[in-house]
Amino acid sequence: MRNPALLDSRGPVSAALFAVLEEAPGGGSDQGEAFLSQVANAVEDVSDILIDEDLQLTLTTLYGLHYGEIGDWDPRWEWQPETIRARLRIEEAFEAALRERIPVLDLPQPEAETVATKLFHLTAEDSGPSLSKYLAREATDTQAVEFIIHKSIYTLKEADPHSWAIPRLRGRAKAALVEIQADEYGGGRPEHVHATIFAGTMRAMGLSDQYAYYLNNVPAVTLAAFNMMSMFGLNRRLRGAIVGHLAAFEMTSSIPNRFYGNGFRRLGYDEKVTWYFDEHVEADAVHEQIAGRDLAGSLAEDEPELFPDIIFGAQACLYLDGLTGSHMLTAWNSGTSSLRHPLDPVDPFRDLSESRITHGSK
């Protein structure tokens, strides 16, 4: 079984990639060249790469070769010229699209406290749609399930994209990132790994916690948010952006997670589902302080040339969060599903304790 998630292609590029990955790597086959020319054509013609289903699925699959767990392909595909060249070509267009949309700000002096203050201001000004308030007050059970499905693309790998940056930082910034990540990974307690706590939330809602189980259901905009983190984390030159992304992510987390927890309690879910959200209320109130001052602030002091990218990464985090939030709220306000393919109707009698895979993936 080469492709356990039975991924659907979403256009010529992802179809060509799946064909390539079925082969043994290293052959320099015609399929590889055909794939690369599909990539070149698609990048040339794309109208909005942030919501392009074919290119975002291709990127997610290519990053999946580094993370594992998407397809059971030959692991040597992780470092083959075809896959790396394709990734770089799509990343170039993706990064350019982000930089084109995100305004360049006037920056203060790169001093740790000033950098933290700037990031706190930036994230406080964020006037994006309030997905968390909607979840807290209005969301139906079906919408709450959809929210979890979108969230699972990143959160079953929570913290991993930012961990790529650890060996790419030095000194104070590295120590701060490791302090945050150690807590994300449970502080030595496997059952407290945040991704594991989230897997428990999914199981307790009757969902599969297998990675990529719902990948076919999730639209490009959700994949783009995760792909952006992977791009920032896997490219050393973008280490400022991944640091800024983490700071903004942490600074916009504790208060929304309180709302999410309240929303799931309102819908009748118990602590097996809400532990994840309640844990993040406390954890991210710690992490945002470390991320603002000790991580982003120290990095800006030690490598001032990265300060603009720290702010860019933070803005990009807020921008993509806004896009994914708007996508969900727009769909729900018009009475439709926010997924590419809706899940099977939620069984109201489903076992909320230990049941697995009761929502079928279409």
How far apart CA 239 and CA 234 sit, in angstroms, is 8
Asked if residue 144 lies in contact with residue 266, where contact means CB atoms within 8 angstroms, the answer is no
User: Which residues have CB under 8 Å from 124's CB, separation 6+?
Assistant: none
- Residue 13: φ, ψ to 5°: -70, -50
> Six-digit token pair at 337?
């599903």
CB of 351 to other proteins, least distance (A): 28
Number of helical H runs and strand E runs in the chain: 16, 0
**Does 289 sit near other proteins (CB under 8 A)?**
yes
**Does 174 sit near other proteins (CB under 8 A)?**
no
Which C-beta is closer to other proteins: that of 150 or that of 293? 293
**Does 179 sit near other proteins (CB under 8 A)?**
yes
CB of 270 to other proteins, least distance (A): 18
How far apart CA 54 and CA 26 sit, in angstroms, is 25
CB of 182 to other proteins, least distance (A): 8
Only one of the segments 34-42, 65-73, 252-260, 325-333 lies at the binding site for other proteins (rule: CB under 8 A); that segment is 252-260
How far apart CA 137 and CA 202 sit, in angstroms, is 21
- C-alpha distances in Å from residue 337, one per residue of 35, 145, 273, 348: 32, 11, 22, 18
CB of 255 to other proteins, least distance (A): 5
CB of 291 to other proteins, least distance (A): 12
111: amino acid identity, one letter = E
Task: State which of positions 87-126 bind other proteins (CB under 8 A).
Answer: 113, 116-117, 120, 124
Which C-beta is closer to other proteins: that of 67 or that of 120? 120
**Does 171 sit near other proteins (CB under 8 A)?**
no
Of 241, 251, 242, 245, the residue nearest 286 (C-alpha): 251
11: region left, alpha or beta (phi > 0 left; psi from -120 to 50 alpha):
left
Each residue 123-162 as x (binds other proteins by CB under 8 A) or -, in order, gives -x--------------------------------------
Which C-beta is closer to other proteins: that of 117 or that of 337? 117
Binding site for other proteins (CB under 8 A): 113, 116-117, 120, 124, 179, 182-183, 187, 192, 253-255, 258, 279, 281-286, 288-290, 293
